[in-house]
Structure formats: C-alpha cells, structure tokens
Amino acid sequence: MTFQTLARRVRNPGLPLGLRYVALRSALEYYRRLGYHASWSFITGTDARKPRPLDEPGLLNALERLETSRNAWLVEMEAFAERRTVLKREHGIPADREETRYRQGRRWSGPDAHAATVVAVAQQWRLDRPYAAAALMEPFAPLEQELSGLVESYLGSGLDAQALRRLPALHRDIDNVRRDHVRNYHLRHPTARLGKVAELIRYEVLPLVRRGWVGDAERIADIFWAARGRMTYLPDLYTFDQTRWWIEHVMAPQSELWIAERRGVPVGFAALNGRWLDHLYIEPAHQGRGIGEALLARAKRRRPELDLRVFEQNHGARAFYARQGFSRIGSGDGSDNEERLPDLHLRWRR
C-alpha cells in the first residue's frame, strides 16, 4: 500500500479505530526520517517502545504532523532534483556530496523541525549513550564526553556560538573514529550511535550551504531586498521588481552563487565573481546565527584570496569581516558605486 492509501485509511471514520491505528504505524514506515521510534514518539507524544492505542483526535493529529513534514521534504527533494539536473546538464557541476548527505540524512523537515529533533536527540541519547560509552576505547572517550556536553546544552538553553562553530568538526571527528573502528577493530556500532546524535543536532541547528542557480533568483531577491532595507542610509535607486529582474537576468547568471538554507528555506546567499565577493546577505530574521560565517567559510574554500567592498557606514559588516580575517586595502569616496557613498576595500588571503 502507498503512503496516500494508508493516510486515507487513518482518516476513514468507517473503519475500526484499531485498523486506523495500524495504518498510521504502517504509514510511518514510508517516512521515518528520525528513525521509527523517535518519529513515532514525536507525532503521537507516546513512547514507541511501549505503544498504546490512540483516540481519533490523536490519530488525526499524528497523521497531520507526519504529512506536514513529509510534504515539506518532498518539495525539498523535487527542487533538489531539478537544480541538480540543470547544474549538471548546463554547467557540468556534479551533485554535491555534502548536500546529498544532508537531504538523505536524519532530519525532520517542516515547521516542527526543532521540536521533533529535541525529542529524537533526547531519546537517542538516553538509549545509546550508555552502550557507546561502555564500548568506546580510551583514545576516543573524549569525543563522547565532548558530545555529552553539547547534547546537554542543546536540550537545555541551546548552543552558544563556540559550540556551533565546533559542531561540524566534532561530527567529522566522530565519523573518522567510526571508520577507524571499522578498519582496525571491526567495531561499528558505538561511534555510529554517537554519530547519529551529532548528525541530528548538526542538521537542525546549522545551515546547509549549497550551490545556487537561476531558479533561486526570486528567493535571493527577497533576501537582498529585506537585508538592504535595514540599511537606512542607502538611497532608493530601484524598485523591488527592477531588483528582482537584475538578480535573475544579470547577477545570478554571471556569478558563482552559494545559498544558505535552514530547514529547507534559503535564508542567505553569497555571490562570487572571480576573486571578488560581490554580495553576501542574510535575511534579517536569521542574522546572528552563524549563517554569514558559514557562507563565508564556503567562499574561502573556493578561493585562495577574496576581495570585497563594504560601505563605511555598515559598521556591523565591517566588524564581521574584521573577525573573519579581512584587512583594509583602501577606501573610496563613492564615485565607484551607484549609491555614491564612501566605501572600503577589504581583502582576505588564505
């Protein structure tokens, strides 16, 4: 039976409640992105290892949560497939392994992503940590201890900036240890279990930085317009429609675009043109969450040297680029930009 057929059974008031309950559990087999037990615990609010019958409102609410996330994930995957096809066919750019892993990884899509991940992390950590801690050999125990502190923060007050910066490297370290365990000791499960927890947290709190294309132009225009709207010192030179046309027909085709996504939604972008970082903008509601840093890190991986210009009055951006290792090369009186505002020339070298 398909997912849609099972969903119709769950909603069918003419069927016995027990059969509708079984249909819901069967539907979950088609979409258990957090693992079966964690996904069931989240959509029903009950322990999957001690199942109990649900009443009709509980069944329908659980199905709605499941369908909302599944539909969001299907939209993501459809856009991913279209973009991957165009980039490969027209530009010869292969699929990004990092993005493929993210799309297929342990991650709950949709508006309930954080709540679902908290349930999954708490459950996974409670069940797997004792086993992993007992089986890990001494050289690798510090990873478990570091992850323990990170999980405690995530489930509590949240991760601070230092923990967010450390998380990708910690996830990679755990993966490296897992490969070492398999290669040298034929031991897979302890670090694989730790890796699941690190992956759950990483994919929920950190943005995905992926290759952009012309199909992202509309969303880029929204981000660009919103971010520059906060810069009250900028003159009004163009309308939103003119800006969107320029992005779609001029900027996007001529640039190497990188998009930062959170929970499947683009929230920031960077545009490279040769060694120049022409644009880096973050949607105002998502600023201060490490997204600009993630985009800039990708730009640094792509270029050994980066140049950019920033308005003198943009003190926030100037401080950000200074923290990221950019040095001042020169300044301009505004004659070289459309806004006719003084700016600075900054440079970073690997």
Q: Which residue blocks in 136-233 are alpha helix, DSSP H?
A: 141-155, 161-180, 189-205, 217-229
**Tokens 């490296």 sit on residue:** 176
For residue 104, is it within any domain?
Answer: no
Domain stops at, among 188, 205, 222 = 205
Considering the domain architecture, whether residues 342 and 250 belong to the same structural domain is answered as: yes
Strand ranges (E), 97-138:
none
**Lookup: tokens for 319:** 């401080």
On whether both 201 and 212 belong to a single domain, the answer is: no
Q: Are residues 165 and 233 in the same domain?
A: no
Residue 108 domain-assigned (yes or no): no
Same domain, 318 and 223: yes
pTM recorded for the entire structure: 0.87
* Site of tokens 């709540």: 115
Locate 163 and state its tokens: 């923990």
Domain count, the chain: 3
Looking at the structure, tell me whether residues 298 and 229 fall in a common domain: yes
Low-confidence ranges of the chain (pLDDT < 50): none
pLDDT value, residue 182 = 73
**What is the end-to-end Cα distance of the chain in Å, rounded?**
55
Distance, in Å, from the CA atom of 209 to the CA atom of 302, rounded to the nearest integer, reads: 13
| Domain termination site, one of 160, 184, 205 | 205
Instruction: State whether 76 and 158 are in the same domain.
Output: no
CATH code assigned at 259: 3.40.630.30
Considering the domain architecture, whether residues 212 and 341 belong to the same structural domain is answered as: yes
199 & 218 share domain:
no
CB 194 within 8 A of CB 124: no
State residue 50's pLDDT score. 72
Distance of alpha carbon 217 from alpha carbon 195, whole angstroms: 35
Phi/psi zone of residue 325: left (φ > 0), alpha (ψ -120 to 50 degrees), beta? left
Domain termination site, one of 97, 126, 159: 97
Query: Is there a domain that residue 294 lies in?
Result: yes
Domain co-membership, 320 together with 249: yes
* CA–centroid distance for 250 within its chain: 27
| Interatomic CA distance for residues 77 and 103, integer angstroms | 7
What pLDDT does 336 receive? Answer: 86
Distance CA 131, CA 316 (A): 46
Asked if residue 72 lies in contact with residue 110, where contact means CB atoms within 8 angstroms, the answer is yes
Residue carrying the six token digits 């600023």? 287
Q: In the prediction, which pLDDT does 115 show?
A: 95
Same domain, 245 and 333: yes
Q: Is residue 289 part of a domain?
A: yes
Indicate if 216 and 240 belong to the same structural domain.
Answer: yes
Task: For residue 46, give its domain range.
Answer: 3-97
Is 103 inside any structural domain?
A: no
Please name the residues in contact with 307: beta carbons below 8 A apart, sequence gap of 6 or more.
275, 276, 277, 329, 345, 346, 347
d(C-alpha 97, C-alpha 257), whole Å: 17
